[in-house]
Structure 1
Amino acid sequence: MNDVAESKGMELTSVFAAASARADQWRHLNALARAWAGAGGQGARATKLRDQCGRLMQSINRFEYCWAYPGARLLEAIRAAHAGGDAAAFARLVQKVSGAMLSGDYRQHESAWQAGAESEVSLLDALPPDADGGAQARPYFEVLVVTPTDPASWQRSSDDMRRMRRSDDQFLYAPVHVGSFEDAALAAMLNSSLQAVVIVDGFGYDSAHAIPDMKAFLARYFDVDRDDIEPGRLATKLAHAIKLARPELDLYLLSDRSPEKLAGSEEAAPIRRLFHHVEEPMELHLALLEGIRDRYETPYFDNLKKYALRPIGTFHALPIARGKSVFSSNWIRDMGQFYGSNILFAESSATTGGLDSLLEPTGNIKRAQEATARAFGAKRAYFGTNGTSTSNKIVVQAICKPGDIVVVDRNCHKSHHYGFVLSGAQPYYVEAFPLTQYSMYGAVPLRTIKHALLQCKAEGKLDRVKVIDMTNCTFDGHMYNPRRVMEECLGIKPDLVFLWDEAWFGFARFNPLHRRRTAMGAAAALTARYRSKAYRDEYAKWKEANAGGELDPKDASLLDKRLMPDPDKVRIRVYQTNSTHKSMSAFRQGSMMLIWDEDFHHVEGTFQEAFLAHTSTSPNLQLIASLDLARRQMELEGYAMTMQMTDLAIRIRQAINTHPLISKYFRVATPEEMIPAEFRESGIKDYGEPNATWDQIIDAWDRDEFALDPTRLTLICGAAGFDGTQLKGMLAERFDIQINKTSRNSVLVQTNINNTHSDAALLIKALADLSSEIDSRLSQHDSAAQAVFDARVKSLMVDVPDLPNFSRFNDAFREDPRSGSNEGHMRPAFFMAYDEANCEFIKLASNDIDKRLADGPDMVSANFVIPYPPGFPIMVPGQVITADTITYMRKLDVKEIHGYQAAQGLKLLKPSTLTTSKASSTH
């Protein structure tokens, strides 16, 4: 946020992460307050600064009621110092608040809440020693209290709640009081420190605060019509609304209605516990702590800590357990010094003694997976300890059998393709839209997916189409609209299974912006939609207008028509894999499989078989524990962290693209550049002002076919004369900045919950230094040097190779060569290559390739060929190789191409092996 924005205050229509914007305002007020105090309190400058402080303080005060800290007393003291012209006191108090917000001192020290003399009274008494023998502070959180009582009594109520703290409480909390539906909804979205909401029946709807942009802000997250709320049901309506927007929060209701009747109703579904008004307050206090404890508990990690403290003799096949072979060694003792003792004491190959078995969990792993399902909004969850590569193969093998057709993005991760080889499923490859200028693909248009389904229907094999398999979001940040994709596909075949590879997107569950584009979010939304009377009425009208719901697969208009499934036939069957380690605090290879499958009982056995087939009998205990901990963190602070990382990404984007020097050579690609206009109905061009308000962005995410995840920044470096690999190496070697993915003329800057403002500054400073060097170098050279530079830029940004599409499977691997659909038997092609006699090699530069392309016979790939970057397979086993694929390979300047050895050449299946009889026998 720039100085102009800070001085005018926090406008809800333009702010995304309120915590970051609020902290910016307090820091700016701190600077103004110090300047006012330094001006001596007299004169025109002092008067101007005092007025600026007053205006900014007035803006800040609009929203401070949404947070417990600094609280009414401290805010009143600040206002009084300003009104009295006491610049020194004003500056001292503002600095106290700003500093405590930055450091978090208010969570630990009572003095941070006091306007008077400083004291070192600790707010947080130390807990008993933890498993490591050290003391730890009690975690702090805030509780929203929505109440009809007189605001004059709220401070007394807060004091009463604080007095209920006990020395043996595991957590500490501070209350935040509001008096209306609107104020409660606003606080729930602004205050990321909230962990619970206490709703006291009897409050009103309208806010008493004059915030002109409040209603527009709330409309982002809450679909509530106050005129539709029945009398007496405002409290439960609020509970439902908050649970949709912040599903992790615990909700409690205090009502003078009969709680025993309300408890069993649908109204009370989101409420954790109901109390009668006259209940003992201590019961509510204990209930609040118990709710946090349920989410804080990490069954596997907690047990592993206890296990590490036990005096165990190990007579199993893991010498490193307990660390004696390490610490007594003359040669690897440094291993123990580096890693520490805990990781060795917490190792075992046993599944007894409370450690549980990942392959057949009955204890703490089972409970950890149940907690994960709850946190991620799934019906079931399974832990994966060999990365999402293995998780994808488990799911594919569990839900597919030989002969099943899978409509799949040809550019998906290679694990999906190998899954088809293992399962015998036949991939029907569909193409994503190309971004040729960046040498990358986007995502698969819905029209393309529908065409594949209708093609199969026309040929009488729709019954064999089992799965739609897509990557959401893609490596480069392209997000599908899963609700729309699933609804329209289910309109063609109501029992389709969906596999969404959300390897990069696991964090998305934990904020309402990203959640709307997730598989589990879509599964929940569609389940509720199809069970509602409103949908039945909507479907009845659609059915009447569309030939009774009978779809003619030859009707081309269906590709552009909104399709709807029959609510009596539709089944919600959704699988999501996520690489927890890619976006959350888990060790490398930590993965999760999340399931929302109404027919899981039909595949539970095969899922278990696939899980056993691919999961090691010696899974890494630390990986399991880190998955348990990642869930805990995301459920308790994922909302705050994901909002802040998104906000930081947008700041980086704006800082780079508006910098007068950096933007000459580097820029972050915009949604307008990364998503063709036909898939952006909203017309949105970029994130953040002046390009779009957050209201417009959220509207775009609700309507557009594809959206771009703002946390994934495609940094275009070709205009600086660098290809992606060059810039990646330079950032690592010179600036200690690590980048993962590159393309011909870009690198991917992936922000995550680990990033800070300091990280952002490091990146921007590096780009500024590089830009300055390029500018200086070009200004000192003659026109010939400039021409060389321009030629390099042209080769990277203009002379880019066309991207090859999937061609077709050779007829030997198709059941009906006359078919218009392109599914094929990849498994026999894959295993035919195991016999060297079936294979031949042709050098890429050889004229033989051009002759074969011109005169035949077909060249048929014997294996997968995957260049890195960009990382998608340009050849799969059994695929006919065409001229555009060869041209693309010849123009590639990357060193890493999986499945291709330049010294040998392309590995092909010999034409003589591709007779129909031989291929069929391999089927």
Structure 2
Amino acid sequence: MENKQNYIDQIFSLTALRSDHWRHLLALSRKWCMGKTDLVNVRNSFEMLQPLEILHAYPGKKLMAKLSQELLEERKEAFASLVSRLSFSILARYYKEDPSEWLYHDDEDPVVNIASDTPHRPYFEVLIVAPDNSKSVERNVRILLNQRQKDDDFIYEPLVVHSFQDAFCAIAVNNNICAVAIFEGFDFASRLPAPQLNRVMSDLHIEEDEDHVALQLAIAIAEYRPELDIYLMSDQRPQDITDDPRSTCIRRILYAVEEPTELHYAILEGVRLRFETPFFDNLKRYAHRPISTFHALPIARGKSIFKSDWIRDMGEFYGKNLFLAESSATTGGLDSLLEPTGNIKRAQEKAARAFGAEHCFFVTNGTSTSNKMVLMAIAKPGDIIVVDRNCHKSHHYGAVLGGLYPYYVEAYPMKEYSMYGAVPLIAIKKALLSLKAEGKLDRVRVVDLTNCTFDGHVYNTRRVMEECLAIKPDLAFLWDEAWFGFAHFSPFLRPRTAMGAAANIEKWLHEPSSLQAYELQQAELGSEPSDETLLHTRLIPDPRQVRLRVYQTNSTHKSMSAIRQGSMVLVKDVDFYQIEPQLHEAIFTHSTTSPNQQLIASMDVARRQMELEGYGLVSNAIQIALDIRHQIKNHPMVSKYFKVLGADAMIPQDFRTSGFQDFLTPGTNWSDAAIAIRDDEFFLDPTRITLVCGTAGFDGTQFKNILADEFSIQVNKTSRNSVLLQSNINNTRSDVAQLMHVLLELTTRIENELSRSGAQGRSKFEQRVVSLMTDVPDLPNFSHFHDTYREDVNQKASVEGDIRTAFFKSWDLANNEYVGLFSEECDKRLKDGPPMVSAKLVIPYPPGFPILVPGQVISHEIINFMRKLDVKEVHGYDSSRGLQLLKLE
């Protein structure tokens, strides 16, 4: 254990490593009992724990004092026994259920309100920030403890700290905290060392305000963990504090000397409101009512299942509640997803608040449908959308269905790994400025981008939106965050989400400094700046003109505890009152009229979980990913054949102005990563791990199948020479151990095979590696739409195209022809013409991006790429017939 870890401010790793500290202390204490280590080592290890344990309610002062006494009096066996019990309780979370875990002797009275003979009740902790040695605060804490009853819905335990910095550390490292009560009069600085915390607080613009420390702490906590309920216990008149506009982050202000009882009930009510799941709660009640169904859903109530001689096993497998909770009715206590007025409406409102949006809509057909809904709502036929050519196919099909003209912008390529990154901001600005020069800016409705990409590239969403709004102030933005919904519950990733960035922009728009910054830049740019100047200037929008219109789609099922196809549309749009009827029509168009009840309920529950424990779950997912990176890099055998790509390999240096290289670069800590998240154009989602397998002689598809077929390890996305591992809120350290065990077994297998096959076998292996890692095809860019599908053929800069006409033209078989991919005719037409125009979206898996869209001219680069592809799955291409082309008139 490194000495640097005894700092109280190691807030980004101690959440996961706390149990490791205890296990290390346990190992030392056992050695101490056997005479294999001395008291000094044990004492040093124990002293490393103490700064961290003041930030947790368990074990608490009493048990920690007892542990210290056993150590001081050198009672080895007693010390080791108590350390063993505490470490196991923390690791297995026994203290949340068993009252005896809080006692030193079994004959003591419990110190917390946990009754072992009652049904499970969720446990949480209340952070109390108060001045040290305050009798009135001690009295209020005692009164608060006495208010707890065995019939309360939840169990809570207070955690008392005495400074601003200790409180900030506590909410950063302690996942159990669900509420904060702030008493006035506490100190700002911690008595323990916190140099890195000072840097983090500086990045968050937190400086001591002697006159408003309590309110300042409330604001800092709300920005860092907005899901927490904050209560201010004031010695002043509460009504005086509410006059301060900054106090809106506080749930309730109470007069400290007379309201400890009200604080207790307020705490329980606040958690209860987050715990409430309107649709799921109602569905549970509905399932246990006596219902007779006369509608078209035979499995409702399960009679056709459980009374059957032939399919009863289906009911036994899924359980009866699944069928009792099924119905196609939208009355009798249920609600309609298409026209919600009751519990679904309230569930969506709760989700909107939880994810920082103004509106939320549940979608039961996946984010593929969510994207089409949004595009249909915010753009009309003939409108232009600036869109990433490598985005999910739902965006391309959305353009087809809506009659939109896509103006494709290209992501930067990573040829050696057969994947694309993200679209540089300069390419997006260039598209907008070109359209402005052609007099088409009024037709541009939306910038449509994927955040984060499949491989983990995350945009600087705030910068993208601000600079685009400087060119066109009323642009709408669609951020496809199918893989990134969890990020709202990480304070470091949240600013890179669409809703997080929108909130920051909205705040900036109302600051006087925003107009000053805009006018200063305008004076510097002059009256007619060139496009070249604008491209290389970080543009500031006019806050008086900006119409902030942001849409975020997320696949709730991809990163949270929702059933497959659960998706949400999140909205923050100042013009939503105009768009709302259109969005409802889009929902009617694309949604099923028979949405799955269980799927809706799971989104309701997923929101509840993320509000109450999402911070800890996401922190753990990040730590799991860092553990995988660390173990692969540092294992002497595994690292010979496998490696994980860092930001330095996946993001060109020009897009990393902070200088951030990788999470595992020596000397790098989370505050460095926080600066990169704030400043860099692109950042790599730490939970997405690109594992290069080509250096082990496996192509991505082959390695994926080996993991699944031989070792029951499932991965999703592959490239020519890599697979993508994703850590999520479901993963544990056992999963990491299994992965490393499998990688070690495979590397051992490779070593054995090479040793047996001799020089010839090693040469063959090296050739295979060269083929996978070096002899890779160039990644083709979008060529252009054929003149038939362009409006302004005389304007070379005009690249948007009529994808809808091209798409539906192919439906008439007389308009189609086929040319073999490897045929002489294909080569001849590439050389001499006539041009070949694609009739289909052609998408190879992997890498999964469309290399052709309807109406696109097929280039040499595209044919060369397709000929080198060694994948079996290519959507839109029939190898037996060849490329499907549109005939030219």
| TM-score interval for Structure 1 and Structure 2 normalised by the shorter chain | over 0.9
Tell me the C-alpha RMSD between the 2 structures. 1.7
Question: Match of 1:605?
Answer: 581
* Counterpart-to-counterpart distance in 2, 1:159 and 1:275: 17
Pairing 1:852–2:852 present:
no
Give the whole-Å Cα distance in 1 for the aligned partners of 2:690 and 2:866: 23
**Is structure 2 residue 364 aligned with structure 1 residue 385?**
yes
AA aligned to 1:864 is L
Indicate which of 391, 397, 405 corresponds to 1:426.
405
Aligned pairs for 1:246-645 within 5 A: 246-547=225-526, 552=529, 554-645=530-621
Task: Count residues with an aligned counterpart.
Answer: 887
Aligned partners of 1:76, 1:484: CA distance in 2, in Å?
Answer: 51
Structure 1 residues 13 and 157: alpha-carbon distance in aligned structure 2, compared to 1, 3 A threshold: closer
Task: Tell me the SS of whatever aligns to 1:504.
Answer: coil
Q: Which moved more, 1:496-505 or 1:774-783?
A: 774-783
Q: Which amino acid aligns with 1:297?
A: E
For 2:487, the aligned partner's letter is: A
- C-alpha separation in 1, matches of 2:504 and 2:250: 19
In structure 2, what is the Cα distance between the partners aligned to 1:38 and 1:152? 45
Does residue 166 of structure 2 align to residue 183 of structure 1? yes
Label 1:736 to 1:72 Cα distance change in 2 as closer, same or farther (>3 A): same
Question: Partners of 1:722 and 1:213 in 2: how far apart?
Answer: 42
Verify: 1:771 aligned to 2:747, yes or no. Answer: yes
- 1:139 matched to 2:122? The reply is yes
Pair 1:126–1:615, CA change in 2 (3 A): farther
Mapped to 2, the partners of 1:211 and 1:382 lie a distance apart of 43
How far apart, CA to CA, are the structure 2 residues paired with 1:22 and 1:551? Answer: 59
* 1:85 aligned counterpart, secondary structure: coil
Cα deviation, residue 555, structure 1: 2.7
Specify the code of the residue in structure 2 equivalent to 1:9: Q
On the 8 A contact 1:186/1:218 being kept in 2, the answer is no
3-state SS of the aligned residue for 1:911? coil
- Does 2:215 match 1:225? no
Give the whole-Å Cα distance in 2 for the aligned partners of 1:862 and 1:886.
Answer: 15
Mapped to 2, the partners of 1:774 and 1:155 lie a distance apart of 65
Offset at residue 11 of structure 1 (A): 4.4
Q: Which residue in the other structure is 1:838 paired with?
A: 815
Tell me, what secondary structure is at the counterpart of 2:12? Answer: coil
- What's the TM-score, normalizing by structure 2? 0.98
Cα 1:215–1:906 shift into 2, 3 Å:
same
Q: Which residue among 58, 74, 77 is the counterpart of 1:85? A: 74
Deviations along 1:392-421, one digit per CA (max 9) or x if unpaired, are 000011111011110000000000000001
> Residue in 1 aligned with 2:58?
69
Deviations 1:442-499 (A, max 9, x none): 0000010000011011111111111000000000000000011111111111111000
How is 1:830-909 mapped onto 2 (pairs within 5 angstroms)?
A: 830-909=807-886
**2:180 aligned with 1:197:** yes
Q: What residue number does 1:163 align with?
A: 146
What is the Cα deviation at residue 18 of structure 1?
Answer: 2.3
Q: Is 2:737 aligned against 1:761?
A: yes
Q: Which residue of 2 aligns with 1:18?
A: 14
Q: 2:502 is aligned with what amino acid? A: A
The residue that corresponds to 1:920 in the other structure is none
1:31 equivalent in alignment to 2:21: no
Distance 1:13 1:849, change over 3 A: farther
Q: Could you tell me which amino acid in structure 2 is paired with residue 70 of structure 1?
A: P
Match of 1:107 in 2: 96
Q: Structure 1 171/336 Cα, relative in aligned 2: closer, same or farther at 3 Å?
A: same
Report the AA paired with residue 273 of structure 1. Answer: R
Answer whether contact 1:124 1:137 (CA < 8 A) is retained. Answer: no
How far apart, in 1, do the equivalents of 2:703 and 2:571 lie? 39
Deviation at residue 124 of structure 1 after TM alignment: 2.9
Secondary structure in structure 2 of the residue aligned to 1:359: coil
Residue 86 of structure 2, aligned match among 94, 97, 101 = 97
2-side partners of 1:323 and 1:283: how far apart?
46
**Paired amino acid for 2:205:** D
TM (norm. structure 1) is: 0.94
How far does residue 218 in structure 1 lie from its aligned partner after superposition?
3.6
State whether residues 566 and 599 of structure 2, in contact with CA within 8 Å, keep that contact through their aligned partners in structure 1. yes
Deviation of the 1:213 alpha carbon: 3.9
Whole-Å separation in 2 of the counterparts to 1:886 and 1:591: 36
| Deviations, residues 219-263 of structure 1 (Å, cap 9, x unaligned) | 45x32122xx3x532211111111000000000011122212322
Aligned to 1:148: 131
| Aligned partners of 1:382 and 1:594 also within 8 Å | yes
Q: 8 Å contact 1:140–1:172 — kept in the other structure?
A: yes
In the alignment, residue 704 of structure 2 is paired with which amino acid?
A: K
CA 1:163–1:372: 2 relative to 1, 3 Å: same
2:771 to 769, 786, 795: 795
Q: Which moved more, 1:15-24 or 1:903-912?
A: 15-24
Q: 1:739 to 1:118 in 2, by over 3 A?
A: farther
Q: Secondary structure of 2:493's match?
A: helix
Q: 1:264 to 1:15 in 2, by over 3 A?
A: closer
Paired with 2:497 and 2:798, the residues of 1 have a C-alpha distance of: 29
> Aligned equivalents of 1:8 and 1:389: distance in 2?
47
Report the Cα distance in structure 2 between the residues aligned to 1:400 and 1:120, rounded to whole angstroms.
Answer: 66
| Secondary structure at the counterpart of residue 808 of structure 1 | coil
The CA distance in 2 between the partners of 1:595 and 1:416, in whole Å, is 18
Query: Which runs of no fewer than 5 residues in structure 1 stay unpaired?
Result: 40-44, 128-134, 913-923
On the 8 A contact 2:785/2:800 being kept in 1, the answer is yes
What is the Cα deviation at residue 156 of structure 1?
6.5
Preserved CA contact (<8 Å) 2:462 2:501: yes
Amino acid across the alignment from 2:544: D
Contact 1:8 1:56 in 2 (8 A): no
Contact 1:12 1:217 in 2 (8 A): no
Query: Letter of the aligned partner of 2:716 in structure 1?
Result: N
CA distance change for structure 1 residues 31 and 160 in 2, over 3 Å: closer, same or farther? farther
Cα distance in 2, alignment partners of residues 8 and 116 from structure 1:
35
Shift of 1:264: 4.5
* CA-CA distance at 1:782 after TM superposition: 2.1
Give me the whole-angstrom Cα distance separating, in 1, the residues matched to 2:585 and 2:491.
Answer: 35
TM-aligned CA distance change 1:97 to 1:225, over 3 Å:
same
Give the Cα–Cα distance (whole angstroms) in 2 for the partners of residues 156 and 797 of structure 1: 68
Is the contact between residue 125 and residue 138 of structure 1 (CA under 8 Å) also seen in structure 2?
Answer: no
The question of whether the paired residues in 2 share the 8 Å contact of 1:10 and 1:25 is answered with no
Structure 1's 551 and 238: CA in aligned 2 closer, same or farther, altered over 3 A? farther
Change (3 A) 1:704 1:373: same
Structure 2 distance, partners of 1:774, 1:522, is 47
